[in-house]
Chain A
Amino acid sequence: MENKITVTIDGREAEALPGQTILDVAKAQGIFIPTLCYLDCTTKVGACRVCCVEVEGARSLVASCCMPINPGMIIKTDTKKVRNAQRMIVELLWASGDHNCLTCEKNGACELQNLVYWLEIEKPRFRIDSPGYETETNNSMISRDLNKCILCGRCVRACNEIQVNEVLDFMERGSRAKVGPAFDADYINSQCYFCGECVEACPVGAITFKQARFKGRPWDLKKVKTTCTYCGVGCQIDLNIHDGKIIKVTGNRDSREPNNGSLCVKGRFGLDFVSNPDRLKTPLIRKKKGGELEEATWDEAIAFIAKKFKDIKAKHGSDALAGLASARCTNEENYLFQKFMRAVIGTNNVDHCARL
């Protein structure tokens, strides 16, 4: 094992590995340090400073998310000085944009809102100035309201470092700074692949899922973990359910493999088909060749098929029947299907479209 370092955090001694940050140690010790710009698996930028802590001997407060520990370091996370600084940071961020929780889709799941509450801030100290950006709603998947953007850069790192799609970056400077695709284009007019990683990375209501708008509050949603139905990667996804409907799809980050919470456009935005009105709802039978398909009960349909299959088997033998199973269905269903063809029909004429 590598040489461990001992540090003192909030009065208790903690062992950690060289290269770990103060934030890492605090997490391991169960000590909460607020963060905004920190995003797992990406560069630690220390941009928002809300994770600041006191370190004995340091000239000023340090950003715990990117400060590596040293042997003997003495760290304090909840001093008055720390809280005052955190309040100032959060209040300035609050004042920098149009953070109106009443109409915000992120209400209840907003990290800025949570911090205002956690820091017990009664009311904004500074005058709130909305930057006056137009809300971007010209695509059907992702809405952007830069008036709510706190410039944490999480979307930029999600796009460049997690998905490596290299679409988003910062542009302009100072009070005009903002994030977006090249040439300040809207997502729909850019190279954006609509993976939605930026939406999940956004701590506030600046980038949101458009189709989920007004469809259910965060606390209404029930998440059901499942496996994506598209390609062979088998991404672990959370179907966000409200009122018996899929409201949105988010990546499941409890499972590191295979996708560690990342998704693509199909898994993320491709499930409209589930609730499409054209879904088949009842069995259909074409009673005579050339006729129309007519609605039938399960009993009629199953009886019809069973009789035909039995007749053909009796007259022409088992090998006159064939079945195509499916790379779309479950293991259990494929197993049962081939068992049915082999054990009940009596033929090995079973295949699926793996080759296509």
Chain B
Amino acid sequence: MAGLAAAFGSGAMTNSIAEIEHTEVILATGTNTTENHPIVGMMVKRAVRQNGAKLIVIDPREIDLVKYADIWLRQRHGTDVAVLNGLMNVIITEKLFAKEYVDARTEGFEAMRKVLEQYTPEYVEKISGVPAEDLKKAARLYAGANKAAILYAMGITQHISGTDNVKSCANLAMLCGNLGIEGGGVNPLRGQNNVQGACDMGALPNVFPAYQAVTNDELRQKFEKAWDAKLDGKVGLTIMEIMEGALSKKIRALYVMGENPMLSDPDLSHVEHALKNLDILVVQDIFLNETAQYADVVLPSACFAEKDGTFTNTERRVQRIRKAINAPGYAKADWEIIAALSDRMGYPMEYKNAEAIMDEIRTVTPSYGGITYERIEKDGLQWPCPTPDHQGTRFLHKDRFTRGLGLFHAIDYIPPDEMPDKDFPMVLSTGRVLYHYHTGTMTRLSAGSTERYPESLVEINPADAARMKIKDGQMVKVATRRGAVKVKALISERPYEGAVFMNFHFHEVPVNQLTNPALDPIGKIPEYKVCAARVEAA
């Protein structure tokens, strides 16, 4: 998100999901959207099959979307910046870029152009393995469209160069004038129901709700007044830094609401030590998950079907959730628990219901200023929606970027933190599969998902399997510098020769004991998509 915020002034998905179906060219990179956001995948497929849209897929894996693609650029893992720079090199060399748009609406073009000079298709082919001719074709296709949408997800962000990757996507879109128009945009697809909302609401160490910086005195004073409390003006710790802090006893208490870091964080043994080192760990969840096993207090919470509230989807649409059934036993909605704890600590939080909290949110969150339960009773509203008569915003940056001019970033390719070598000759990449979700807490309890995808699998290219004498369904050992797991092999053309793919849904195969915790220096996102691994028959 930091990447988009730097380029445009706002980190959110620029356009709307429905626009995907009616655009001319879709460039999907680092998003296996038919499995991770199947309804977005559906829109992409409909655009291609029914509306004549052209699809460019940039992905090391032969994901389902490749079947629908006009051009598939299969880059080596972690070489995204090189490929995106290569596309822009061609577009500039062949004078296909939107010069008027670049002149009028952006800054930083010259500096970027200089860096792009060396990224000729031939040079990019050497780095990424993408044939120079394919790169040129893709560049011409993207640049030739009146409107083209870029879709991306964790395949772009979960790298040490994640922020660079995002900025490169932003560069490409601005270069071709694809921002501030219907059907265009740079569209990060959020993988979790309310990750957008959690960010909007200030569940981040550096900002209050609506991305208002905690370091800004004026903004902080506004919140001090609204909340009637003295507030700290220095940026807090990120999730990784909190774990580090727990190890060094800098952090002594951790309150976890609805998260399972014991399965989702990189380098799990590290997290385990951190959690054990705390004076108190409070876990509030619907299940006794892996993290809760280390808790001193466990608080039972209601799930989404048992409470009222709102989620904000990937396209900034604030939508209602509604209580349909009662929570089991003594479980309570998370907001009720927080309020009870706050009361006990001497800061009364008296809210009649979830709507009363939204009424307060509206007063301190400018982009949510016009959002009321009454207005979103039938259809959600897309922020920014600053006033009660505002109709919401379908796409951002029309006529003007949030930050004024769009900012190009000159970005050089850097290789992944850990490359294959003699001891660990293969590339391991991780992600989700259609039938499961995140740490599997929910989907693994579903009869259907379990039936369709009962156990963890490692996808191995047939050539590698033949060389290593591994058969389909055989148990193999996948090892990296950090650990090893045993897992069943799925022989598949999806990964290229020399690469394997694993999911992180199964606690019996804790793939995050293998992944590389190296972080993107700005986004603080771990490099889940590339590390060096060794595979052998178990």
Which A positions have Cβ atoms within 8 angstroms of B?
139-141, 161-164, 188, 193-195, 211, 224-236, 239, 241, 244-246, 254-259, 262-266, 269-274, 276, 278-286, 289, 293, 298, 301-306, 308-310, 312, 316, 318-344, 346-356
Are A351 and B310 within 8 A (Cβ)?
no
Closest to A325 in B: B203
Digit string of B189-221 for contact with A (CB within 8 Å is 1, else 0)?
A: 111111111111111111011000010000000
- The docked-state distance in angstroms from the alpha carbon of A247 to that of B201 is 33
Once A232-B190, A320-B251 are accepted as A-B contacts, the answer to whether A330 and B324 lie under 8 Å apart by CB is no
Of B325, B434, B447, B448, which is in contact with the most chain A CB atoms at under 10 Å from its CB? B448
Q: Which of B417-441 contact A (CB under 8 A)?
A: 434-437, 441
Q: Which of B143-151, B252-260, B465-473 contacts A (4 or more CB under 8 A)?
A: B252-260
Choose, from B22-30, B230-238, B491-499, the stretch at the interface.
B230-238
B340 part of interface (Cβ distance < 8 Å)? yes
Given contacts A244-B326, A258-B313, A272-B447, contact A327 B334 (CB under 8 A): no
> Given A308-B279, A325-B198, are A280 and B287 neighbors across the interface (CB < 8 Å)?
yes
Which residues on the A side are within 8 Å of B329 (C-beta)? 279-282
Q: Is B59 an interface residue (CB 8 A)?
A: no
Residues of A within 8 A of B234 (CB): 348
- Answer whether A303 and B338 are a contact pair too, CB < 8 Å, given A239-B305, A283-B300: no
Name the one of B46, B199, B231, B252 contacting A342, with C-beta atoms under 8 angstroms: B231
What's the Cα separation between A335 and B344 when bound, in Å? 19
Q: Which residues of B contact A139 (CB under 8 A)?
A: 448, 451
Residues of chain A with a CB closer than 8 A to B251's CB = 320-322, 349
Report yes or no: A279 in contact with B331, Cβ–Cβ below 8 A.
yes
Collect the chain B residues with CB atoms within 8 Å of residue A304's CB: 297
Pick from B199, B300, B319: contact of A282, CB under 8 Å: B300
B237 & A234 in contact (Cβ 8 Å cutoff): no
16 further interface pairs, Cβ-Cβ under 8 Å (given A281-B300, A330-B354, A348-B235):
A163-B42, A188-B451, A194-B448, A258-B39, A265-B38, A265-B435, A301-B297, A308-B253, A309-B253, A316-B252, A318-B232, A325-B198, A325-B257, A329-B194, A334-B194, A348-B205
Minimum CB–CB distance from B217 to chain A (whole Å) comes to 14
Closest Cβ–Cβ distance, residue B375 to chain A (whole Å): 14
A321 touches which of B190, B230, B255 (Cβ 8 Å): B255
Chain B contacts with A in 313-347, Cβ cutoff 8 A: 313-315, 317-326, 328-335, 338-342, 344-347
Q: Could you tell me the distance in whole angstroms from the C-beta of A4 to the nearest C-beta in chain B?
A: 25
Interface membership of B239, Cβ < 8 A: yes
CA distance A234 to B314 in the complex (A): 8
Q: Which 10 A-B pairs have the closest CB atoms?
A: A281-B329, A234-B313, A232-B190, A330-B309, A348-B236, A326-B258, A280-B300, A264-B38, A325-B203, A164-B45
Closest partner residue, chain B, to A330 (CB atom): B309
**Chain A residues, Cβ within 8 Å of B324:** 224, 226, 239, 241, 246
- Whether A276 contacts B445 by the Cβ 8 Å rule is yes
With A262-B42, A321-B252, A355-B524 in contact, is A229–B298 under 8 Å at CB?
no
Chain A CB within 10 Å — which of B245, B325, B333 has the most?
B325
By a CB distance below 8 angstroms, the chain B residues around A273 are: 286-287, 303, 441-443, 445-446
CB contacts under 8 Å to A, within B156-206, are 157, 189-206
